[in-house]
Amino acid sequence: VVDIRKFYNETGMFTYDPGYMSTGSCSSSITYIDGDAGILRYRGYDIAELAENCDFMEVAYLLLRGELPNAKERDEFHWTISHHTMVHEQLHKFVDGFRRDAHPMAIMCGVVGALSAFYHDSIDITDPYQRMVAQHRLVAKMPTIAAWAYKYSQGQPFAYPRNKLNYAENFLHMMFSTPCEEYEVNPVLAKAMDRILILHADHEQNASTSTVRLAGSSGANPFACIAAGIASLWGPAHGGANEAVLNMLNQIGTPDRVGEFVKRAKDKDDSFRLMGFGHRVYKNYDPRAKLMARTCHEVLAEVGAEDEPLLKIAMQLEKIALEDDYFIEKKLYPNVDFYSGIVFRAMGIPTTMFTCLFALARTVGWISQWKEMIEDPDQKIGRPRQLYQGATARPFISMEQRG
């Protein structure tokens, strides 16, 4: 590792690294990835063990505070989060301002950014207590806002949070309860949702997390920083991939057409890529994809959709791609998004909500990373340099001369 800051101070030279392929932007103790070995750990704990043995609130506590909670700490944390789940009634009016067919990610981005206007007078980021309250508010209100975005698109009244439910159950309740019928929690689906939230909770310095850190490095309001993260997550190369995977599987249509699409993905003159395949860091099977595939089978069995045609297409696609020289050579494996869309669909979650779910899970990671950055004495305002390739100095041309 080269200390670029020292290198720059001594030589006046800086690195040219579009896409930050080999630039470390911070030091962090939150998430560890070994992309070659397919390892992901939160605070040193393997993702598979956390997904198997913990609930999302324990993992959120771990990411935010650095240690797994004991039973008392877990209960207190759950109490705190559940007592911040309400969102100010005035924000309904804000949501009402969106077009009825607005994408739920656009609504989430706007509403979370608007929280900064609600808490602008109580967010002094130099005060650790206020920083902690901001973390709690964000983690707690995200499911409410995501469910609002969905309800609004359906033209249904918003469902209020139920504090007696756990985090995942509460989200499902707010998504699916109507004034006519209260959602009855299905423990298998709630457990699957909880595990999905754990798998998406953090992933070190990806595009959206780096966006949150960059926005926050100027001292910006944390709600505004998270809104910036949501915007970055939305793209199809990042969190929007789960939506894109489902669209792709639908486009493929039947397992016998998989070969045709794999061929297209390899063609340099075709911009088509296999969605849910490849990763900047993983050059091995994404460990989250393995857990997601297992969750997919459990959920489909629970809802009686073992014969889901899209799963058959996905499995055929995985099989063909993993045996293909192009994908082997470039080390392209399924990533977390490959199976998540099929799981969400089986749970009755519409495609446009997929990335919102990712955003609500990742909020825990974003705000943990924001906190770590604010508390890091070495952190400076983020300010990348550029390789200028524009015109050299030119004499000014007056309007008359320009004709």
Segment contacting ligand ACO by CB under 6 A, of 96-104, 130-138, 156-164, 278-286:
278-286
Q: Could you tell me which residues are beta bridge partners of residue 46?
A: 41
Nearer to ligand ACO, 139 or 275 (CB): 275
Q: CA 318 to CA 190: how far, in whole Å? A: 27
Between 225 and 245, whose beta carbon lies closer to ligand ACO? 245
Residue 279 touching ligand ACO (CB under 6 A):
yes
Query: Parallel, antiparallel, or unpaired: how do β-strands 45-46 and 39-42 relate?
Result: antiparallel
Considering the rule CB under 6 A, would residue 275 count as an interface residue with ligand ACO?
yes
19 or 187, CB closer to ligand ACO?
A: 19
- Check binding of 332 to ligand ACO (CB under 6 A): yes
Q: One-letter amino acid identity for 264?
A: R
Contacts 24+ apart (CB under 8 A), 265-269: 265/321, 265/326, 266/324, 266/326
The answer to whether 347 contacts ligand ACO (rule: CB under 6 A) is no
318 touches ligand ACO by CB under 6 A: no
Interaction between residue 33 and ligand ACO (CB under 6 A)? no
Question: Rule CB under 6 A: is residue 370 a binding residue for ligand ACO?
Answer: no
Name the nearest CA neighbour of 171 among 222, 346, 179, 162.
162
Question: Using the rule CB under 6 A, is 277 a contact of ligand ACO?
Answer: yes
| Integer Cα distance of 262 and 277 in angstroms | 11
Minimum distance, C-beta of residue 276 to ligand ACO, in the bound complex (Å): 5
Decide if 279 is catalytic.
Answer: yes
Q: Which of 234, 215, 214, 235 has the alpha carbon at shortest distance from 223?
A: 215
Query: Which stretch in 77-85, 119-127, 176-184, 234-242 sits in contact with ligand ACO by CB under 6 A?
Result: 234-242
Answer for which of 13, 37, 188, 237 binds ligand ACO (CB under 6 A) is: 237
Q: Where are the alpha helices (DSSP H) in 305-383?
A: 309-322, 325-329, 337-346, 354-374
Interface with ligand ACO (CB under 6 A), residue from 31, 116, 335, 363: 335
Q: How many residues does the chain have?
A: 403
293 lies in the site for ligand ACO, by CB under 6 A:
no
Among the listed residues 336, 347, 359, 361, the single contact to ligand ACO using CB under 6 A: 336
Pick the closer one to ligand ACO by CB: 237 or 328: 237
Q: Closest distance between ligand ACO and the C-beta of residue 201, in Å?
A: 12
Residue 216, classed as helix, strand or coil, is helix
How big is the site for ligand ACO, counted in residues (CB under 6 A)? Answer: 19
Element (DSSP H or E) covering residue 79: helix 71-82
Per annotation, catalytic residue among 279, 325, 376, 378: 279
Cβ distance 66 to 29 under 8 Å? Answer: yes
Do 318 and 338 meet the contact criterion of CB atoms below 8 Å apart?
yes
* Separation between Cα atoms, residue 244 and residue 237, nearest integer Å: 9
Nearer to ligand ACO, 122 or 251 (CB): 251
| 273 lines the binding site for ligand ACO (CB under 6 A) | yes
Confirm whether 84 is a catalytic residue: no
What's the CA angle centered on 56, arms 53 and 57, to 5 degrees?
110
Q: Which is nearer to ligand ACO, 159 or 265 (CB)?
A: 265
The order of strands in the sheet holding 31-34 is 31-34, 39-42, 45-46
Binding site for ligand ACO (CB under 6 A): 19, 237-239, 241, 265, 273-280, 330, 332, 335-337
Catalytic residues: 279, 337
